[in-house]
Structure 1
Amino acid sequence: MTSTASAPATTRPAAASRLDQVLDRIAAGGRDKVSAFTRLYPDAARAAALASDRRRAEGAGLGPLDGRILSVKDLFDIAGETTAAGSAVLRDQPPAAADAPVIARLKQAGAVIVGKTVMTEFAFSAVGLNPHDGNVDNPRAPGRVAGGSSTGAVVSVVDGTSDIAIGSDTGGSLRIPAALSGAVGFKPTAGRVPTSGAFSLSSTLDVVGAIAGNVADCALADAVLAGESAYGLAPVPAAAVRLVVPRGRLFADTEPVVAEAFETALSRLRAAGMTIAEGGLEAELDRLAEIDAIGAFTAIELAATLRERGVGSLDRVDPKTRARIEAGAGKAAPDYVRMVRLRERLVGDVAAGMAAGTVFVLPTVPVTAPPIAEVLDDTAFHRVNGLVLRNPRVANLFDCPAISLPMATGGLPAGLMLMGRRGSDRSLLAIAAAVEAALAR
């Protein structure tokens, strides 16, 4: 890999000036609009921006993230403050003793962290609602959901109040808001980026990644988060890209506008010289369904996390979330152990069965963003939540890296998801950059 992931620092405006514009934009959001941010760090951010500008003037920059403005999801520890993770029941927890490792890496790379962003409670929803902090509008379609659980993250990117947003992805929480709100969201292979110091929804499935306006910025953030020093991506010629479409149940109930956008995207990729093959994942999905029939890692492991933190009452938890936590708390230990073992075998078999360079392509989610008013009802909420999770969660259960790219629809945003072999994170990002370029023609 090269070390040229984004525009050279000399071509960007001064970080302090850009930060002032961002803070003004946030302040101008208005009292009638729920903010994407739960907390701002104007003083610390301004100090970081001024330090970055000094380094640039001296020719001693820390790399391509130096001076870039970032938001971070409200589940990462920052020393001296309580990590609320979108929930009222955690607001009286002790403050964090230290920054989460990913926060420390971002600061060491010169990032200007402007604030923490709204998320769904405990990161346990893909729709993007939060009764404690408020429901944030889709940045491209006011009155509709933005997606979750990294809800404010995608809003901050699309609204221009951060260059890159750092979030988590347990079943699609970076890729779903990216798809519904028109951005790029990248989920790495588990273990690539440290998750310590981040509130844990599922210790089995949680990963940390980024939402940005383009693949290059996601790749830059991924390298810094993973502790790597090489930021760039080797160019991939279109003729070298081979994508596999896994037709079957992951295409069921797809909204016509999403289906049309997907087929149009495939046509453009073929026209660019990429190979598109038909394939399937039905046998692997049968095995995933066997795990689902026993229980959900998220519900079981979240119940354990809350118990470890001394949360004895769920009275202040959103009822939509509470019911699932209580179901997880009631699971028997032998059932959980069986789930772990089944999943371990599935992950190994999927990795062994995917040839090097294999990339699956499918709609990130089968629908566009519904109106917020339509998903306030419990029945509608659970239906939509399950539907938008269906496709992206496969990558988490299979432990595959995956990325969502915007697809042109002529209306509400939709996403195209690429899923690669376990551990192929950087090559997947390089292929995604080639796909992004082909779709932009």
Structure 2
Amino acid sequence: MTSHFAPFPPLARLAADLVSGATTSRALVETALERIADPAGQGSTVFLQVDAAAARAAADAHDRLRAAGTVLSPLAGIPVSVKDLFDIAGQVTRAGSRALAGAPPASADAPVVARLRRAGAVIVGRTNMTEFAFSGLGLNPHYGTPLSPYGRGTAGDAPSRGLTETVDVPSGDERIAGGSSSGAAASVADGMAAVALATDTGGSIRIPAAFTGLTGFKPTASRIPREGAVPLSKTLDSFGPIGVSAACCALVDRILAGLEPRVPAARQIEGLRLGVLTHYVTDDVEAPVASALDAALKHLEAAGAILSDVRFAPLERLPGAGRYALSAIEACAWHRPLIAAHRDEYDPRVLSRILKAETASASDYIDLLAERAELIEAAHETLWQHFDAIVAPTVPIVPPRLADCDRSDSEYARINALVLRNPSVFNMLDACAISLPCHPRGDAPVGLMLAGAPHGDEALFGVALAVERVLASIR
């Protein structure tokens, strides 16, 4: 038997309830902690560390501040989870690995964690993840693998009434939450946090958002300070939120960027120019994904959006672009001393991906950076000058079964490559991107991805809010 809790309501609703006195920060935090601790749930797998005492103390402090007329932001007093990749003062940052278990505690919060605290977020704990963030599946042999609500009786978007659904899950039917931010997404989907702080190097925010029926935003990489976190790729790493709506992600994104915490205005759907990618990202798409995307696009067009098929030819070069991945080369450089000391403590599948770049030369690395620069320039000329956003399926498949992903190394590699393929395109293009759920309620979760030009984050949120309103009418 497995319990699944409904997600918290959107941040705007929680903030309004706090203002009206319908709830308190302590009540919200207690709800999150109870769900984490419920032995019938998956809190012990989703969280690697729970800060119950500190969270209760922070919640009580915010309730006192609110009673005195002080509210730090719309996020004040609301429970938030933090991926195990980020430094939190006084805690060891393990990055989902046993190799870092003996590392010294962080001396200070990562800048993004500090910004969340200053905005009043109540951090309830650190979430599980793929070891060192180097996979899109979220499997972790050390601490367990968080699961999607799909396969446990719901697609991850049940009404937010705080109810528990307990269902029999047939052996082998459990579905992965996706990675690498598996625990981050599961913490929001199962109502153990209202929003999650996560990272995205090749889709690690958008993949789990898509697989759990949530919304996930990958900002332009340089928009958010990246100090204070274990790196995967210094070029591609991006820090952002997973939440239950585009507005939730927009609010948290602005806090992470050091901006005034507000939600940008939605664009008018009528006349919105959307470029729909027609190749590469649509290869090997499963029927439920194709059906959900097709229905979503038809509704957007009926609402007045201008949809145009677009073929971005440079994508055809990506499968054969050199022998090495940019992330693997940069990861290999960072991990070399740690592997020398703790090789046997690594997840073998993660280790093998890192070591693929052992023989890469400086010329290989320079060539990859040059090819990326060419891709970014081509996207400027072909995509961003002509469209308000580009549309693609976030992931071409519905959440796969855990048993299928873990069956063999070859099957793991195949599914991992397929899951990472679409979102990683936009990391290579230095774009901003968001995944929105677009499946009919109760069906397998499917994400519709919108991508925008580098540094066009605010504009993309305006588009996403408009698109989300249309999608809500079919969900």
The answer to whether TM tops 0.5 is: yes
**Is 2:128 aligned against 1:98?**
no
Q: Using a 3 Å threshold, how does the CA distance of structure 1 residues 311 and 16 change in structure 2: closer, same or farther? A: farther
Deviation at 1:308, TM superposition (A): 5.4
Q: 2:417 aligns with which of 363, 386, 404?
A: 386
Match of 1:165, SS? strand
**Is 2:470 aligned against 1:438?**
yes
1:376-404, Cα deviation, whole Å (9 max, x unpaired)? 11111111000011100001000100000
1:69-125, Cα deviation, whole Å (9 max, x unpaired)? 100000000112211001111111222111100010000110000001010010001
| Amino acid across the alignment from 1:337 | I
Counterpart position of 1:332: 361
Q: Distance in 2 between matches of 1:30 and 1:385?
A: 29
| Amino acid across the alignment from 1:327 | K
Deviation at 1:236, TM superposition (A): 1.3
Q: Using a 3 Å threshold, how does the CA distance of structure 1 residues 264 and 16 change in structure 2: closer, same or farther? A: same
**Is 2:56 aligned against 1:27?**
no
Q: Using a 3 Å threshold, how does the CA distance of structure 1 residues 53 and 357 change in structure 2: closer, same or farther? A: farther
**Is 2:272 aligned against 1:266?**
no
Q: Distance in 2 between matches of 1:149 and 1:60?
A: 37
Counterpart position of 2:155: none
Match of 2:410, SS? helix
**Is 2:329 aligned against 1:300?**
yes
Counterpart position of 2:452: 420
Q: Distance in 2 between matches of 1:382 and 1:360?
A: 28
Q: Distance in 2 between matches of 1:174 and 1:396?
A: 12
Unaligned runs of 5+ in 1: none
Counterpart position of 2:402: 372
Q: Using a 3 Å threshold, how does the CA distance of structure 1 residues 230 and 374 change in structure 2: closer, same or farther? A: closer
In the alignment, is the contact (CA less than 8 A) between 2:274 and 2:387 conserved in 1? no
Identity of aligned residues (%): 44
1:136-185, Cα deviation, whole Å (9 max, x unpaired)? 22123241111000001111111111110000000000000011111000
Counterpart position of 1:178: 209
| Amino acid across the alignment from 2:92 | T
Deviation at 1:287, TM superposition (A): 4.7
Q: Distance in 1 between matches of 2:368 and 2:203?
A: 20
Deviation at 1:356, TM superposition (A): 6.6
In the alignment, is the contact (CA less than 8 A) between 2:275 and 2:387 conserved in 1? no
Counterpart position of 2:391: 361
Counterpart position of 2:19: 10
Runs of 4 or more, structure 1, over 3 Å off, are 29-34, 286-290, 308-313
With structure 1 as the length reference, what TM-score do the two structures score?
Answer: 0.95
Q: Distance in 2 between matches of 1:340 and 1:84?
A: 29
Q: 1:74 aligns with which of 84, 99, 109?
A: 84
Match of 1:391, SS? helix
Tell me the number of residue pairs that the alignment of Structure 1 and Structure 2 aligns.
435
In the alignment, is the contact (CA less than 8 A) between 1:34 and 1:137 conserved in 2? no
Question: Once superposed, what is the RMSD of the aligned Cα atoms?
Answer: 1.7
Q: Distance in 2 between matches of 1:257 and 1:116?
A: 33
Q: Distance in 1 between matches of 2:367 and 2:403?
A: 39
Q: Distance in 1 between matches of 2:448 and 2:91?
A: 37
Match of 1:167, SS? strand
Q: Using a 3 Å threshold, how does the CA distance of structure 1 residues 264 and 373 change in structure 2: closer, same or farther? A: same
In the alignment, is the contact (CA less than 8 A) between 2:25 and 2:63 conserved in 1? yes
In the alignment, is the contact (CA less than 8 A) between 1:73 and 1:167 conserved in 2? yes
Q: 1:322 aligns with which of 351, 354, 360?
A: 351
Q: Using a 3 Å threshold, how does the CA distance of structure 1 residues 97 and 439 change in structure 2: closer, same or farther? A: same
Unaligned runs of 5+ in 2: 1-10, 153-173
Deviation at 1:357, TM superposition (A): 5.0
In the alignment, is the contact (CA less than 8 A) between 2:99 and 2:338 conserved in 1? no
Q: Which one is further off, 347-356 or 214-223?
A: 347-356
Q: Distance in 1 between matches of 2:225 and 2:23?
A: 31
**Is 2:85 aligned against 1:107?**
no
In the alignment, is the contact (CA less than 8 A) between 1:351 and 1:422 conserved in 2? no
**Is 2:375 aligned against 1:346?**
yes
Counterpart position of 1:85: 95
Q: Which one is further off, 72-81 or 401-410?
A: 401-410
Q: 1:220 aligns with which of 221, 235, 251?
A: 251
Q: 1:242 aligns with which of 256, 259, 273?
A: 273
Counterpart position of 1:233: 264
In the alignment, is the contact (CA less than 8 A) between 1:359 and 1:420 conserved in 2? yes
Deviation at 1:313, TM superposition (A): 3.9
With structure 2 as the length reference, what TM-score do the two structures score?
Answer: 0.88
Q: Distance in 1 between matches of 2:101 and 2:282?
A: 40
Q: Which one is further off, 307-316 or 355-364?
A: 307-316
Counterpart position of 2:171: none
Match of 2:184, SS? helix
Deviation at 1:247, TM superposition (A): 0.2
Q: Distance in 1 between matches of 2:228 and 2:59?
A: 24
